[in-house]
Amino acid sequence: MPELNKDAQAVRKIAVFADVHGNYTALRAVLADAHRHHASDFWFLGDVLLPGPGSHEILEVLGQLGITSWPRGNWEDLLVGGHQKILDVTDPQRLYFTRQAMYQDQFLDAATYAKLAQLPLTVTHEVGGLTFRLSHNLPFKNYGQELIPTESQANFDQLLEPGVDVALYGHTHRQLVRYGSGGQLIVNPGTVGMAFANPGKVQHDLRAMYALLTVSDARISSVDLRKVEYDKNAELALAKRRGLPYYDLYQDQLLAGVGYTHNRPVLAAYAAAHGYLQEVDAYVNK
């Protein structure tokens, strides 16, 4: 019996999640599912806010989980840049992020923005004799498409510095389990709050995603890529109550998986139709 107790204590269930993107409703659903499956640890991989309506309450939830630092996502950089009014708002995409920062300014204080700006690009955890390296994308670059599932092995091997046993990354919003050239494990938990309409019947899924890793006896005994239903109408109701900018685009994102972040013509037309050009100009020049 003492040996059974010792083994039970050695087991760690780690909930790994990424790319919340301000979707508070999806985050709560993911965390509820992780608790039901007895997660003991929670690790986050960046892109915490925007374009959803969630704000300080998401940061408070992360703090309650013991997550005080995480790999800085590219949307953290864009939020901070918009708040600092240093983005080129003649670009409809950069105007989009600046208008989103205007929205977040009503909830976030200077200390929070400073914390987001100072987040590291990588975080390392040691669990069960294994070294885990967490990054949002590559360890030295939190943006780009080098790590989409169909990219080359050489790109993925960049996640694996000497001594790293398990690499965890987000950013692509697509779940993945694969191996490095040296047999190391690589996992992407997918996205909590910003699922895309990926091609094919297998990949198309708009549920909230995360990964549950079980660590026991200095090995990964299981990797469970989980998908969780959540109330999209409740999330949209929250967005409506809070006056979320670009609301209609957010609705398309949640209900159809259509992403507009890189669609400059749509962003430009929407900003012009809703008076965002004048609002952002006043914000930047205030």
Reported as a pLDDT band with limits 50, 70 and 90, residue 105 is very high
Phi, psi of 54 (to 5 degrees): -65, 150
Provide the pLDDT for residue 17: 98
The token pair at 134 is 């967490």
Provide the pLDDT for residue 286: 83
- 10 has pLDDT over 80: no
Domain boundaries, the chain: 10-285
**C-alpha–C-alpha distance, residues 67 and 172, integer Å:** 22
Which residues partner with 42 through β-bridges? 15
Query: Token match 């039970």: residue?
Result: 8
Amino acid sitting at position 270:
Y
Reported as a pLDDT band with limits 50, 70 and 90, residue 181 is very high
- 7 has pLDDT over 70: no
**C-alpha–C-alpha distance, residues 59 and 68, integer Å:** 9
SS3 211: strand
Provide the pLDDT for residue 197: 87
CATH number, domain 10-285:
3.60.21.10
- 9 has pLDDT over 60: no
* Average pLDDT score, the chain: 95
**C-alpha–C-alpha distance, residues 259 and 84, integer Å:** 25
Residue-wise pLDDT for 186-230, tens only, equals 999 999 999 998 766 666 789 999 999 999 988 999 999 999 999
Provide the pLDDT for residue 42: 98
pTM: 0.94
Identify the DSSP state of 37.
Answer: T
